[in-house]
Amino acid sequence: MQTMLILGAEITNPLQITVIGVLIAILFLASIVGVLGWMLRLPKETEHVRIATKAVRSVNKLGNILVPLLGRNEATDRIVALAAQMARQRNGRVEFLAVIQVPFTLPLNAHVDQDEKAALEALGRAESVAAQCGARNAVHISKRILKARDIGAAIVREAEEQMVDLILLANMPVRVRGSMQQIDPAIEYVMRNAPCEVLVLSQGRTSVRSNRIGDTTHEAATVGASI
């Protein structure tokens, strides 16, 4: 009978846990957690940050824009371009409005061929400028002609009915006294009575001649004709 003798070696645990090792592991873990917390921590919101955020949100809501066309000149073209760019960034809409002022000697629905032709030309010019800004397909554009006794009142009435967010206007100085240019009464009326925010582009002191659409009197009756 054979007897087999098995010689064994003592097996030791290679993982030795020591107090120093535990402390090192805890410090390493704490450092990792601290770095991740610093990376993910949101900056503290200051008063200036809150003001800036509120202003940006307010501006981003201005998507429904009314652009009265008070003349056919560079200032009007610039305000049209600005409106198209703003609406394109916000997926908004722009309405180009031409107001024909009808004198008291005529009924509001009277045909004033020369003024109607000028209004149609102004609307066509505005549409071309908006198209150059890339707003042909990205922005909903509408055109409208209003006949009214008072241009400012007609603009305010249209803004109220269409519930617009912003009115963009190009200032058309009508009189010069010395070195001072007087603001267009229609624009002044809109600024005082508009149901929304109003932005006016002014060229400052200039002698550039402008082709004004209509004159200004004082009555708020309007008759609309959509295009």
Please write the tens of the pLDDT for every residue from 158-214.
999 999 999 999 987 665 556 556 778 899 999 999 999 999 987 665 544 445 565
Between 86 and 44, name the one with better pLDDT.
Answer: 86
The CATH superfamily of 63-226 is: HUPs (3.40.50.620)
Any idea of the CA torsion for 158, 163, 164, 165, to the nearest 10 degrees? 140
Q: Where are the domains of the chain?
A: 63-226
Between 102 and 45, name the one with better pLDDT.
Answer: 102
- And the tokens for 11? 């097996």
3 state SS for the chain: CCCCCCCCCCCCCCCCCCHHHHHHHHHHHHHHHHHHHHHHCCCCCCHHHHHHHHHHHHHHCCCEEEEECCEECHHHHHHHHHHHHHHHHHCCEEEEEEEEECCCCCCCCCCCHHHHHHHHHHHHHHHHHHHHCCCCCCCEEEEEEEEECCHHHHHHHHHHHHCCCEEEEECCCCEEECCEEECCHHHHHHHHHCCCEEEEECCCCCCCCCEECCCCCCCCCEEEEEC
Q: How far apart are CA 171 and CA 227, in angstroms?
A: 25
Per-residue pLDDT, 121: 94
Between 37 and 177, name the one with better pLDDT.
Answer: 37
Pairing of strands 93-101, 71-72: unpaired
Local confidence band at 219 (pLDDT 50, 70, 90 cut-offs): very low
